[in-house]
Structure 1
Amino acid sequence: MGGSSLQVTFETEKPINDETGINLSTRVLNHHLSAYSLLGYGLNDAFDKSVVHLLRMQRQTVSSSNGKMELRHPCLQSVYREKYICSQCNTSNQDGSPLSACKTMRIGRPGVPVELISAPQWECYSSLAKVTVNLSEWLNLGPAIDCELQPCALNENLHVPHGQFYAMSCFFVVYRFFNLTSDASLDDVLHAGHKFCEETWDVTKHSVVPQPFIEHYSFRAPYIVSLLRDGLHITDNHVYLDLGASLGPWVLLLLEDGQAFSRQSEFHGANILHENANPAILFVLFFISVILLACAISYAFNWTPKVFRRSHLPLFRHNSASHSILNFQR
């Protein structure tokens, strides 16, 4: 997960013959993958979508001061009041017309200036997060998708993910912000978000390490939980949070391949020893190994056991020392 999109990759039993299907072959395994990207499901765009939804719902009550819209957001801490540029608000009307005149942000993206005012209501957090996740709220697909019956972040052309998943990147960012460990459950994330919501903005902004979007974490906690549970139908026990280096899906497959290769090699080697083991042959091999080891040591230290010496060699044994000294002195 990034700021703008969510990438999903998982392995399937059979090859998939569509634009999401990928076949990857390694040393010992063949992998059939499905990989796709969900635009608008990153952390930053998700908060933007929450603002769009609230503007739709509060259209009759949105106040304007000096030509700027003021919007009460339930997922912001008390006494929060800051300016915000909503990049998706310019087309939030159902007919596609802009809400107000667009302005251009520093990075070149157009957006609508909105002044966000806190109206913290924890009971609204989960419902707002679920609306943000539900695809039918944004594409006018007809009847709303029931998140209880099917993954509501996926259209009918995408395969439903299954298996064990590594949650990386922005999932890790949220966990780290709340000082959660990798074994923390999604309910723990909700609890941490609830506690964070109960604090006032004046206290919070000075109690954490300076970083962008501190105020968004009250929304981010229920959002990532709803995204996994409602949007993708991935349960807690199928999610592993990567709190170390963010490994890509290809690296994870290579690691799995390496483990499989190691297991296969060990199993194959064990079979060979089991099938061909003969006590007499093993004894001969052991004896030869000992002799070779003794010869290697003898050669390395220029030492020969007396058993292998002939007593009359060399003929010049008594004179060899003086002869060597003379040669050295010359």
Structure 2
Amino acid sequence: MGLSWKERVFMTLLGAATASGLTVLVLILVEATYVLLPAHIKFGIVFDAGSSHTSLFVYQWPANKEKDTGVVSQALACQIEGPGISSYASDPALAGESLRGCLEEALALIPKTQHQETPTFLGATAGMRLLRQKNSSQARDILAAVSQVLSEFPVDFWGARILDGQDEGAFAWITINYVLGMLIKYSFGEWILPEEGTQVGALDLGGASTQISFVPRGPILDQSTQATFLLYGANYRIYTHSHLCFGRDQMLSRLLARLAQVRLDSQAALVRHPCYHSGYRVTQSLAPLYESPCVHFTAPMNFTQSLVVEGTGNPGACVAAIRGLFNFSSCKGREDCAFNGVYQPPVHGQFYAFSNFYYTFHFLNLTARQSLSTINATIWEFCQRPWKLVEANYPGQERWLPNYCASGLYILTLLLEGYGFSEDTWPGVQFQKQAGGMDIGWTLGYMLNLTGMIPAEAPTEGRAQSYSTWMAGVVFVVLTLVTILGAAAVQLFWPQD
């Protein structure tokens, strides 16, 4: 007796479902190929403990790296509330406590499973270098308090230390050239090294020090000013030097002390300050001037005295007073000398000026690569404005407003007469806060250098299929489901023959 129509249709659908299912299985097993899956992401945390404030940065990079160096990007920037850690000399514990908020924010961003392996470092710069000169035990106490707090968090704590000026300048050079694609860049599906000699110089102006770093044309004759790096398989040799006490805040203190010529037998002294606007008047204590290691007095200190500072708005006299902060005669006409007898090869090429270089010129609206004559005229005109007019034009900026005239003229003096820029080389200087979407400073350069000491992880293998194979598999999966449902419908709803 032959099969009924119901049985024939059922067997046909069942056979089709079986054939379709076997086809899917064959596509999965035969056509799949092994591919390299993306590497895990690693994270690092760096605190920049500057003289006036502290910042935290979180960086990330693929674990497999390129030529033994990580391809790093910035994931978070957090400003610590309060002053720099050197300001907590009388209560070091507060320096450590101030860091908690930003570190908790950083750990909220990083996957919890990676907290224990996240390298965390605090680098203190010129503010702590000055405190160490003044009172080494206070500096040690602050670093100990900071280390104690950071050690409480579930991170791989690499320590807290005071960076020397050379490291600060050299790491900033790495940062700028990396974010500009001058160390490595992605092109046509691969990472390549740019042409030699395309790197830019770095100009940093902090609160207590200023740094200059660049690749000179010839050999570096003073080896103490040379820094070398191996990054992405290439060797770099740069000139770098840090001038302590020539940062913006210390310059302002030294300038006021120079102008004061204080009579110690009087209860108050009137200082006519050419770098302050006419009509500006303030009374301040002498104590902060005496507290700075950058300010030197030959007469005995009298902390009870105060100064009445009165602005005269005279940019010519201001420049003359600022020049008195430098010892230009010590170079005696040498081309390879900056000031104070410090060796420096002649500047050349492109430079990025950041930190207080940028903040000052940004306030003065001078970051659009204007000509040197335009910049000079703009600053002089600003210095000659009456204080009442300046206050009215810039509401809510009282904290630094009186100092922009002095800062602007100081930058011109430092760059032109100190570092040796000229009318010809000035167009090569750009004033920037960020480059490539990342903050410019030493921290990214430090992290790039650090990635060379962190073991790379090889990409993991996985199985994948081509798009056409995947689409064919989807079609046969659908066909299998349809035939199975059809067979089931035949069994359930087809009447018995």
TM-score between the two structures when normalised by the length of structure 2:
0.44
Contact in 1 for aligned 2:267/2:306 (Cα 8 Å): no
Give 1:107's aligned residue: none
More strand by share: 2
Are 2:408 and 1:239 aligned? no
Change (3 A) 1:82 1:295: closer
* In 1: Cα distance, 2:444 partner to 2:289 partner: 34
Give 2:408's aligned residue: 221
Query: Structure 1, residues 241-261: CA drift from partner, whole Å, max 9, x if none?
Result: 114354136757999xxxxxx
Q: Deviation of residue 155 (structure 1)?
A: 2.3
* In 2: Cα distance, 1:253 partner to 1:165 partner: 20
* In 1: Cα distance, 2:492 partner to 2:215 partner: 75
1:3 aligns with one of 207, 211, 216 = 207
2:302 aligns with one of 90, 94, 101 = 101
Give 1:68's aligned residue: 268
Counterparts of 1:109-120 in structure 2, within 5 Å, are: 113-120=306-313
Aligned length, in residue pairs = 258
* In 2: Cα distance, 1:240 partner to 1:193 partner: 17
Give 1:24's aligned residue: 229
Contact in 1 for aligned 2:279/2:311 (Cα 8 Å): yes
Secondary structure of the structure 1 residue equivalent to 2:215: strand
Change (3 A) 1:70 1:320: closer
Change (3 A) 1:16 1:246: farther
Secondary structure of the structure 2 residue equivalent to 1:9: strand
The letter of the residue matching 1:232 is: Y
1:130 aligns with one of 323, 327, 348 = 323
Are 2:79 and 1:79 aligned? no
Contact in 2 for aligned 1:175/1:189 (Cα 8 Å): no
What is the identity percentage for the equivalent residue pairs of Structure 1 and Structure 2?
A: 18
Secondary structure of the structure 2 residue equivalent to 1:19: helix
Counterparts of 1:1-330 in structure 2, within 5 Å, are: 1-12=205-216, 18-55=223-260, 59=261, 67-85=267-285, 87-88=288-289, 97-98=298-299, 100-102=301-303, 113-132=306-325, 134-135=326-327, 145=331, 151-159=337-345, 161-208=347-394, 209-234=396-421, 235-244=425-434, 245-248=438-441, 251=444, 295-302=469-476, 323-326=487-490
Contact in 2 for aligned 1:193/1:218 (Cα 8 Å): yes
Secondary structure of the structure 1 residue equivalent to 2:489: helix
Q: Deviation of residue 19 (structure 1)?
A: 3.1
* In 1: Cα distance, 2:334 partner to 2:382 partner: 28
Contact in 2 for aligned 1:74/1:118 (Cα 8 Å): yes
Change (3 A) 1:51 1:301: same
The letter of the residue matching 2:275 is: C
Q: Deviation of residue 148 (structure 1)?
A: 9.4
Bigger-Rg structure (1/2) = 1
Q: Which runs of 5+ in 2 are unaligned?
A: 1-204, 449-465, 478-482
Secondary structure of the structure 2 residue equivalent to 1:38: strand
Query: Structure 1, residues 240-293: CA drift from partner, whole Å, max 9, x if none?
Result: 2114354136757999xxxxxxxxxxxxxxxxxxxxxxxxxxxxxxxxxxxx76
Contact in 1 for aligned 2:331/2:340 (Cα 8 Å): no
Q: Deviation of residue 224 (structure 1)?
A: 0.2
Query: Structure 1, residues 171-230: CA drift from partner, whole Å, max 9, x if none?
Result: 111012113333234433322222222222123234313242311111111110110011
Contact in 2 for aligned 1:196/1:218 (Cα 8 Å): yes
TM-score between the two structures when normalised by the length of structure 1:
0.63
